[in-house]
Chain A
Amino acid sequence: MEQQIVKVKNNRGIKVIPGFGISMFVTLGMLGCFVLVPLASLFLSVDALSFWEFREIVTSRQAVSGYAVSLSCAFLAAMINAVFGMLLAWVLVRYEFPGKRLMDGLIELPFALPTSVAGISLTYLYSDQGWIGGLAAKMGIKIAYTRIGITIAMVFVGIPFVVRAVQPVLEKLDRQYEEAAVMLGAGRIYIFFRVILPEVFPALLAGFGLAFARGIGEYGSVVFIAGNIPYKTQIAPLLIMMKLEQYKYADAAAIALVLLILSFLLMLAINSIQIYMQRFYKS
């Protein structure tokens, strides 16, 4: 009876559930129309440049400083988010206190708030007349229009990524290992770093990667606080925007392509680390 029903075709079995054709058509059609074809234009535009022109654009001092600012600030911001995200997830999962639900709901604010609103609020807050910027200015630290400001803006947009990645893992964590460690006499800090953190690390890494990628590509929240000082606070997306405004489409496309490749390599690296760690721990 089983042999009659499951006829092997293409090594994948016949499609028992109806609707394969239309699902494939709609999915590929919409994906192609809205995503793939427009993205292909990027490659087409860069293709129009000769190799030397391409190299000149993407290795120009401005472009390289753009990548450097974006990458370094995003990395630092993602690290900060990893630490505080872990802390927030821990506090939200393990402790009870008044206002916890409010805190939990507020975490997703950076997702719901438009980046331009976040951008102007953060700029005001950290400018020399702002509430925090003013305090910092008295101590001689300038925040807005510096890389510090950019990093803070990137931290803002990345908060939910790490918290929401780590929270479910912490919630499902089996307490028996901790309890065994307690009974064997381990101190709390030791337990955290040797028992809990390794379990949570893949999720933490995934959240870090997402926050990093978001920081690299972020435009709206950063562009106001950055101040666009050439070679100092010009993030790569802003550079692309500038080239567009100057109608230098090929330049913009070239820089965008390099940025895409950098982000892609980054995600690949993080995924590989994750896979490696999984194998390491499985054995």
Chain B
Amino acid sequence: MKNVKRTYEQDMEGDGIHSLQKVIEPRRNEGSCTVKYFLIGVSVLFLFIMLFLPLMVVAANALKEGWRVYKENVLDEYTVKALKLTLLAAVTAVTINTVFGIFASFLLSKYNFRGRQLLASLIDLPFSISPVIAGLVFILTFGNIGWMGGFLKANHIKIVFAVPGVLLGTIFVTLPFVFRELFPVMNAAGKDEEEAAALMGAGGFTIFRKITFPHIKWALLYGMVLCTARAMGEFGAVSVISGHLRGKTNTLPLQVEILYNEFNTTAAFSVSSILVILAVLILIVKSFVERKRK
């Protein structure tokens, strides 16, 4: 009969199959069950109250007066125009910031020059500036009282309180997004591969296309998704620059504000629901891209 009871000496010695390591292997499960469920419970409750309830508020209020009123609000002429402007702003901002992001991260990761650190911090500026201040500086530059105001007025170019202003404001606040995603990836990849290719005679664009780009594909897409989300959701800066001209310089987030301030709550929440749906779609695309990155 096998001697199942093991002595201390046997444990310490081990016999090739059972060893002490297995006996004291740390538990895969963190801690006791009560603590675990308590912590999970608190987190779920926190997220439920802070994130999920506001979404429910939008849904409940949007449909408060019934499905037909909801459709009316969503398909309202001004809302559709606002949607178009929002999409235009998002597309413009993403395009320009992608170009900027690629050049800037390439510049900062593949070359060594004085002022690299300073340039990197400057690029991060829009990220830490209040959106209202962002709108303010555009008015101070391109508005009638701005130093460029005279020049613009003489040439009948309208920037502030017009569509170009909205686009500029959106570009400003979203500028760092693509860069922030690309730079760590390019920096980690280093210069060696590109330098080798250059020494073997490849031209600039070929180097970028064949060597740099494959590294950054998914980071680029991820940055573009983040940029889109931010561009569509931008409110503060655009609120200052746009002048709230309904049908002309209103984006969807601004339209929500106008409707709410008119006490047209149902309409405000109906328009908000469009933005919520867009936000959820973006989140889904984002998790998809995130998983592909790993």
Contact = CB atoms under 8 A, between A and B. Distances in A.
Contacts of A118: 54
B113 interface: yes
A213 B132 CA distance: 14
Contacts of A220: 131, 235-236, 239, 253
B254 A263 contact: no
B181 interface: no
Interface SS, A side: helix
Nearest to A178: B26
Interface string A202-246: 000000000001001111100010000000000011101100100
Contact of A13 (B58, B112, B280): B112
B163 interface: no
B54 A115 contact: no
Interface in B137-165: 137-141, 145-147
Nearest to B261: A224
Interface stretch (A22-30, A55-63, A141-149, A273-281): A22-30
Contact of A155 (B30, B50, B236): B50
Contacts of A30: 96, 99-100, 103, 175
Contact of A122 (B54, B126, B131, B260): B54
B185 interface: no
A188 B204 CA distance: 56
B110 interface: yes
Contacts of A219: 130-132, 235-236, 239
B254 A116 contact: yes
A224 B26 CA distance: 51
Contact of A112 (B30, B204, B233): B233
Nearest to A238: B132
- Chain A interface bracket (under 10, 10 to 19, 20 to 34, 35 or more): 35 or more
A256 B175 contact: no
Nearest to B123: A31
A218 B132 CA distance: 8
B252 A41 contact: no
Interface string B111-127: 11110000100110110
Contacts of A178: 26
A15 B96 CA distance: 26
5 contacts: A38-B137, A88-B47, A120-B256, A120-B257, A260-B133
Interface of A: 5, 10, 12-13, 15-20, 22-24, 26-27, 30-31, 34-39, 41-42, 44-45, 84, 87-88, 90-91, 94-95, 97, 99, 101, 103-118, 120-122, 124-125, 130-132, 155-156, 159, 175, 178-179, 182-183, 188, 213, 216-220, 224, 236-238, 240-241, 244, 249, 252-253, 256, 259-260, 263, 267
